[in-house]
Amino acid sequence: MSQVRLDLLVVDVPVTPESLEGALRSAAEDLLMGPGLRRVELSLPADDLDALRAVLRAGFRLEGVRRQVLELPDGSYADLCLPARPASDQVGGSHGFTA
């Protein structure tokens, strides 16, 4: 069995946290319904708390942080959060992951 990695580039566009949550939830559910796909992984700047909240409410769980990997325009580095959603996670309601 081969493994395929698909990385998508997302351009910064102003959206509300609610819009982001709905888009992520729909995209993850559509992707995870396909045969053979077992997880969806994201990465986002650790200081973008609105985006992180939206991701968590969309059913993703925070799996880790990559420290000082995102180079900023001023030459400094920022952390990236690594949320993911395995196909086996049961997600329900408007509050994201439910155990």
Using one digit for the tens of pLDDT, what is the confidence trace for 13-43? 667 778 888 888 888 888 888 788 888 888 8
The total of structural domains in the chain comes to 1
| 44 belongs to a structural domain | yes
| 60 belongs to a structural domain | yes
- Of 39, 43, 35, 34, whose CA–CA distance to 62 is shortest? 43
Q: List, as own/partner pairs, every contact residues 92-97 make where C-beta atoms lie below 8 angstroms and the sequence separation is at least 24, other chains included.
A: 94/57, 95/57, 96/56, 96/57, 96/58, 96/59, 96/60, 97/56, 97/59, 97/60, 97/61
| 77 belongs to a structural domain | yes
Encode pLDDT of 53-95 as tens digits.
Answer: 988 998 999 999 999 998 999 999 999 999 999 988 877 655 5
1/18: higher pLDDT: 18
Mean pLDDT computed over every residue of the chain: 81
Residues of the chain above pLDDT 90, percent: 31
Strands (E), the chain: 39-41, 44-45, 61-71, 77-86
33/99: higher pLDDT: 33
> Could you list the residue range(s) of the whole structural domain that residue 89 is in?
40-93
